[in-house]
Amino acid sequence: MGKRAQFYYQNPCSICEEAKAFLEENGVILIERDVSKTPLNKRELSGIMGYHNPKHYLDSKSSSFKKQKLDSKLPSRDDLLDLIMENQDLLKYPIIRVGRLMTIGSNRQQLIDMFQINMSDNGNRKNGRVTDGNK
């Protein structure tokens, strides 16, 4: 049985598509949620963020980040959650979660480590299934 992961993404998102393809090619079963269609509620968002530094989750390139001047100072956690609820583009995507482990984005090495994907030196999976080792 394959590993399962929560996969939160926003459409369109080339980084999300890249991460999704890589994980599916490597046997990870994704439970997907397009937050542009079904936004996260405050309780879900708080659960995803846990006790981590909220800046880790914020997309500093989004127009909302700049508009809210979040680069200078973050509001309180509760106020930040409210702000994200109003502007879901403040979050980086994809957010990939399995159990207590989580990563944001499509960093291949992080995904390999998180899902314990066995890769050979040339980018091929050890079971013979070929993936692109250059990304």
Contacts of range 62-71, beta carbons closer than 8 Å, 24 or more positions apart: 62/87, 62/89, 62/90, 63/89, 64/89, 64/90, 65/90
Helix, strand, coil proportions of the chain in percent (round to 5)?
35, 20, 45
Torsion on CA atoms 109, 115, 121, 124, rounded to nearest 10: -120
- Tell me the residue length of the chain: 135
Question: Domains of the chain: which residue ranges?
Answer: 1-35+93-135
At 9 the three-state DSSP class reads: strand
- For residue 85, count other CB atoms closer than 10 A to its CB: 14
> Average per-residue pLDDT in the chain?
86
Strand order in the sheet with 29-34: 29-34, 4-9, 95-98, 101-104
Helix crossing, 77-86 with 42-49: angle to 10°?
120
Give me the sign of the Cα torsion angle 110, 113, 116, 117.
positive
CA-closest candidate to residue 96, choices 15, 2, 38: 15
Classified as helix, coil or strand, 41 is coil
Quick: pLDDT tens for 8-48.
999 889 999 999 999 999 999 999 999 999 999 999 999 98
> Would you place residue 120 in the very low, low, confident or very high pLDDT band (cuts 50, 70, 90)?
low
CATH level 2 (architecture), domain 1-35+93-135: 3-Layer(aba) Sandwich (3.40)
Q: What is the model's pTM?
A: 0.81
